Amino acid sequence: MKTILLSVTALLMSGSLLIGAPKKDIVDTAAEAGSFKTLISAVKTAALVDTLKGEGPFTVFAPTDEAFEKFWPGTLKNLLKPENKDKLQMLLTYHVISGKVKVRKAKKLETAVPVSGGSLKFSAKNKELYVNYAKVVKTNIKASNGIIHVIDAVLVPNTMKNSK
């Protein structure tokens, strides 16, 4: 009887730990939010869906649809062409860091290396976090394989800035 009670207690405790765990991955979490249609479309075109649905963990700095609207005129349309898939992948993976970085930790960082290489610069101004020049407008959105921080601008790697 004691063994049964211990087993049931262990089962209930392990189940309660799983209840709070997010069930959707980064891609599904972003898609469900509704304000990342452009980002999701670009991720699909760049063939990065499977990667971002992978085990991770990942930290994604996700530009909103409004951020993409403000992006260099005509650039996104050009990047979405099949012949520019490599450039699109570079742009998108510049928004991704390996590992799970919550905003509290990001505020203590000076820089981080995105998946694409290069460097992301972090700064805090008036209690707000910036990644390069983009303001983080929503933080710590949990996904099963990482975390999403919403930003108000598209981050552009230095290697792409001269090739507008």
If one compares 44 and 5, the residue with the highest pLDDT of the two is 44
Whether residue 57 is preceded by a cis peptide bond, meaning omega within 30 degrees of 0, is yes
Q: Whole-model pTM?
A: 0.84
The answer to whether residue 19 scores a pLDDT higher than 60 is no
From the centroid of its chain, how far is CA 128?
Answer: 18
Taking alpha carbons only, the member of 50, 125, 148, 43 closest to residue 91 is 43
User: Domain-by-domain residue ranges, the chain?
Assistant: 22-161
CATH of domain 22-161: 2.30.180.10
Res 143: pLDDT:
97
Average pLDDT, the chain: 86
If one compares 2 and 135, the residue with the highest pLDDT of the two is 135
Res 126: pLDDT:
86
**DSSP code at position 83:** G
